[in-house]
Amino acid sequence: MAVMNVNPTRMQLTKLKKQLTTAVRGHKMLKDKRDELMRQFLDLVRETRNLRNKVEMELKNCNSHFVNASAVMSKEALDASLMSPKQRINIEVKTKNVMSVEIPEYEYNTRTSDEGDMFPYGFAFTSFELDDAVTSLNNVLPDMIKLAQYEKSCELMSAEIEKTRRRVNSLEHVMIPRYQDTIKYIDMKLEENDRSSRTRLMKVKDMLLDKAHNYSGKQ
């Protein structure tokens, strides 16, 4: 029996009962939080898996276009075409609170709104295969940013789930049983003290009766 090192008094008993009530309430709240976090985490994992499969297919298609471009252009010409990008991507990181977890939200914008700026070269000396490769890479970018957001969110939610799980287990298997055992121990001690007090009072009563009337209270 895991009993706390406390004085077995009625004041301490009342205090421990209040702490036990708080611990039970906290255990329920943490358990509900863990279950809801787990539900949202699993939903997000499914979305992340589907998005990752989509991104991998898009990157595979993008890579095929670059392979085709490298087949019809020399390495020097290909490197020179991509050496000086005209467009720039800015990413702003915001956060959203989900069950006390600050998960990121990535928003991006381009330096200019002209779609033609994604091509860092002129079209006179490049192949259309390279155009297709750059276009496919530009198209996959939003999904890659969203995938990074989802994966970071999964990482943060997973850490919070593990931390909440440890707290739930600590309350369920350590703190609450310890409170219960200590309360039971104090109850037993107080009952034992009450019995001892009654026995002493009865003996004192008998002694006083015997002294006053030469009568111990027994027939």
Average pLDDT over residues 174-181: 93
Q: Does domain 27-161 have CATH number 1.10.287.3240?
A: yes
Tokens coding 104: 């990121």
Amino acid 218: pLDDT: 47
Q: Is the pLDDT of residue 217 over 70?
A: no
Average pLDDT over residues 12-36: 94
Amino acid 215: pLDDT: 54
Each residue's pLDDT tens digit, 145-160:
999 999 999 999 999 9
Each residue's pLDDT tens digit, 27-43:
999 999 999 999 999 99
The pLDDT > 90 percentage for the chain reads 56
The residue that leads in pLDDT, 67 or 211, is 67
pLDDT bracket for residue 72 (50, 70, 90): confident
The amino acid at residue 66 is: F
Domain range list for the chain: 27-161
Cβ-defined contacts of 145-151 (< 8 Å, 24+):
145/91, 145/106, 145/108, 146/51, 146/106, 147/48, 147/51, 147/52, 147/55, 148/106, 149/104, 149/105, 149/106, 150/44, 150/47, 150/48, 150/51, 151/48
